[in-house]
Structures are given as C-alpha cells and as structure tokens.
Amino acid sequence: MLGKLFKHEFRRIGKMASLLLAVFFGVTVFGAIYLVSPLFHSIIDAGNNSSMALTVVSGIIALLGLLSYMLMLVGLSFGFIIYLGFRFYRSMYSDEGYLTNTLPVKSSHLIIAKIAAGGIWMLIMTLALYVFVGFLVIVGYSQMRGIGLFDVITFFREALNMFVELVKEVADYDFSTSWILLICMTIISPFATLSILFGALTLGQYSWKNKGLMGILAFIGVRIAMSIFSGILSLGITMFRTNAGNDPELMFMLANDKYLVNLLAQIIFACLLFFWSIHVVSDRLNME
C-alpha cells in the first residue's frame, strides 16, 4: 500500500513540478538566447572599447541579469515548497482530510509517501537548478571571453583543480570531506525540509482558530529554533577548534563544521517533527 500511495503522490505532485521545470528550461533558453544575441555583445563591446567606468557598468549589467535569473529560479523553488505545504494541509487537515484519514492505511504511510514523493521532486528541481544556472554561467563567460563552451568548461575545471592543489599545499587540507557534506546536504535537505514543514503545519492543529496560519507561524518558529540550536553548537565547536590550534587548515575545518551542524540540526528537527506528525494524525487529530 505504501508503494501505491507513493506512486499517487509522485504523479500528482509531478504535474506541478513538471510545469515548473518547463518554466526553468524556458527561462534558461531565453537567457541563453539573450547572451548570444547582438544586444548582449553590443553591451560587452561598448564596455571593452570604452573607459573603465563603462566597462564596470557593462559588467554590472551582465551580473544583474544573472542574479535576476537566479532569483527567479529560487523564487519558483520556494513557490514549489509552498505548494507542497498547502497540498499537505489540504489533504490532511481540511475537508479533504476526512477522506484521506479514512483510508485503510497507516498514518505513518500517508506522511512517508508525501515526504518521499515531494522530496524526490524537490531534489530533481534542485539538481535542475544547479545545471541550468551552471549552463547559463558557462554560456555567459563564453560570450564575454569569446571562447567556445568546451574551452570554458576546461578552464573552470583546471582553475578548480589548481585551487584544490593550492589549498592542499598551503593548508594541507583535503576537500573530500567538503564534497561528501555537500552531497549529503543536497540529498537530505529536501526530505528534511518537508518533514519540518509538515510537522510545523501539524503543530498548528493545536490552535482553536486559524490552524493554517498557526502552522505557518510554527514553521517560522521552528526555523528560528534551528538557527539558535545551530548557532550555539557552531559557537562551541568554533571555540574548541580555536583553542585546539590556529593553522591554515582551521578556516576550512570551521566551514565544514558549520555545514555539518546545519545538517545535523535538519536531521534532528526533521525526525522529531516527523514522529510528532505521526502521533498527532494517529491519536490527536483535530481537523477543521
């Protein structure tokens, strides 16, 4: 039954996710067309053939265009999270919840299916965002420098390798831990975010009025609590690291510690709110 619930959720959420991915793709194609257009080249040429001030202005224009594109994609991603939260609340705690909660399935299966399906789509959209932004950066740099796309990729790869080797030589630091943390954060964050969001919306059920609004306020409160928890833990680790020594490797170790603390905070709060959601739906459900 859990598999059937997951397939149903995955397909239903996939309609909105596919639409947003199509928008991602369309905006990226539009941005790439702009970067290879004569208009963009005229701006770059005007900057290169003019004073330093105009060169800086042309660079700022190009940077603002990229930032606007990135903000648009990030905004759409947050919109998708809001959609998932609204869909969860409607299907579990509104009028539609009367039907959902009478299904012959475990409450835990309902929540797991929603978190798993939504989390996978969020992960897909996150990876798509990385690919689209990276592609547009490569195209933009290619047009600004007048070199081919593969030459840009080779340039960035060589520059990254040189940076890694320089850090290894100067600070004796290996980036393998950083890459592992980045991969773990990318994979775990979508599922943890939904577990926290759904748990916060569940907390809102304890309000007599405006349960949906209270759920949103609960989510904000949980995020603040996570920030405080992460900040206190990070401060303690920083003091320990600083007392233990002060070498070139310390800066990278502190950065890894911060990522690790944020990851642990997400996992802890996600697990707590996940089991709380199951408890409420199973034993203390109070729908509108």
Comparison of pLDDT for 25 and 1, the residue scoring more:
25
Q: What is the pLDDT of residue 22?
A: 92
Whether the per-residue pLDDT at 44 is higher than 70: the answer is no
So what's the pLDDT on residue 249?
57
Domain boundaries, the chain: 1-171, 185-288
Structure tokens belonging to residue 92: 């579990």
| CA dist., res. 139 & res. 178, Å (int) | 27
Highest mean pLDDT among 26-35, 71-80, 202-211, 218-227: 218-227
| pLDDT of the residue at 40 | 67
The 8-class DSSP code of residue 284 comes to -
What would the two tokens of residue 38 be?
């004569």
Amino acid at 217: L
Q: Is 2:109 a contact under the CB 8 Å cutoff?
A: yes
Residue closest to 81 by CA, chosen among 224, 201, 259, 206:
201
User: What angle, rounded to 10 degrees, do the helices at 107-145 and 52-93 form?
Assistant: 170
Q: How far apart are the first and last CA of the chain?
A: 27
Distance CA(86)–CA(201), nearest Å, equals 9
Residue 285, pLDDT > 70, answer no
Residue 139 tokens read as: 């195209």
pLDDT given at position 170: 64
Other C-beta atoms closer than 10 Å to the C-beta of 167 total 17
Its pTM stands at 0.81
Chain centroid offset of residue 212 CA: 24
Contacts of 132 (CB under 8 A, 6+ apart): 24, 25, 28, 73
Q: Which residues contact 82 (CB under 8 A, 6 or more apart)?
A: none
- Model confidence at 194, in pLDDT bands (50, 70, 90)? very high
d(CA 18, CA 152): 30
> Dihedral sign, CA of 54, 56, 60, 63?
positive
The per-residue pLDDT for range 156-186, each reduced to its tens digit, is 888 888 877 776 666 566 677 778 888 888 8
Query: pLDDT confidence of 54, banded at 50, 70, 90?
Result: low
Nearest partner of 17 among 70, 92, 77, judged by Cα: 77
H/E element, 193 = helix 176-203
pLDDT band for position 287 (cuts 50, 70, 90): low
- Rg (C-alpha) for the chain, rounded Å, is 23
Average pLDDT, the chain: 79
Kindly report, residue by residue over 219-277, the tens digit of the pLDDT: 888 889 988 888 888 777 777 666 555 555 556 666 677 778 888 899 999 999 998 88
CB-based contacts of 201, cutoff 8 Å, min separation 6: 85, 88, 89, 93, 212, 215, 216, 218, 219
- Ranges 62-76, 117-131, 147-161: which has the least confidence: 62-76
197, containing H or E segment = helix 176-203
